[in-house]
Amino acid sequence: MLETISKNFFMSLSQSKALNKAARKWGLKFGASQVVAGETIETAIEAVKKLNEKGLVATLDHLGEFVNNRDEASEATDYCVRTLEAIAKSGVKSGLSVKMTQLGLDIDKQFCLDNMRKILDTAKKYDIFVRIDMEDYARCQVTLDILQELRQTYDNVGTVIQAYLFRAMDDVKDLKGVPLRLVKGAYKESPEVAYQDKKDIDENYMSIIKEHLLSGSYTAIASHDHHIIAKVKEFVKEHNIPNSQFEFQMLYGFRTEMQQSLAQEGYKVRIYIPFGDDWFGYFMRRLAERPQNVAFAFRGFFSK
């Protein structure tokens, strides 16, 4: 009960535009600096370098979402292009993750599509993979529609499927051959469209992981759940699925010992590294996901 109240509280905070705006002035407070790699491209690249030295790869995400101004969306697009150029110039092993609401999805679908093409043209030039983050359910179908259109021209783009949605398995089957990041899901969704019980979500999560792996598609398993990770390791061995067909993904700043351990075992491990001043919504969703994250945040705050 308390866990549900806590989750709902932090999810509500994550959607507050007033608090998000104020957070930009605060800087990285309340432990956020432990899970957000600074506010600039330079600090993000340095974080990737340190992870690369430990045998880990990365994907960078310039934080921001739900943009309703064309100028802001254009600026975000340009920032993504500059991030790709910085990745190429530095030689770090990293991809790029983007949110289409940051690129104008809520303004105009074609405008967002044009911005995505600018990003993907640059990424293709440098042979960098771009992942379209999945956002809330209301934007799920349009995200997949845009992905399908982009895949007609670009093979260096994929997306994310969230296991708590009832539609997840159908989407995974439709996206056979597309590199997918598979996650449990981090938004608060209606019981009409999403599983609410952890057991049901976990079962569906393993089902879509198995489906995508058995189809021969490249699969990114994004989870800190050691039970899930152990099941995946067992499953790929049973079915002789090579390590080159999948990777484990984790969030920057979380379960660093497990990240290192998996890499030492010979698995590819990619760390999702968010950066930028629009950090508040992302951070609140991380606090909502697990009660342990709240304690983690307060330790970070009081250790300063």
Which residues have a catalytic role annotated?
133, 181
Q: How far apart are the first and last CA of the chain?
A: 32
Which residue shows structure tokens 């905070």?
13
Separation CA 170–CA 166 (nearest Å): 9
Q: How many residues belong to the chain?
A: 304
Question: 39: closest CA among 296, 285, 279?
Answer: 279
State the Cα–Cα distance between residues 243 and 249, nearest whole angstrom.
Answer: 14
Q: What angle do CA 118, 130, 136 make, to 5 degrees?
A: 100
Do 115 and 73 touch, CB atoms closer than 8 A? yes
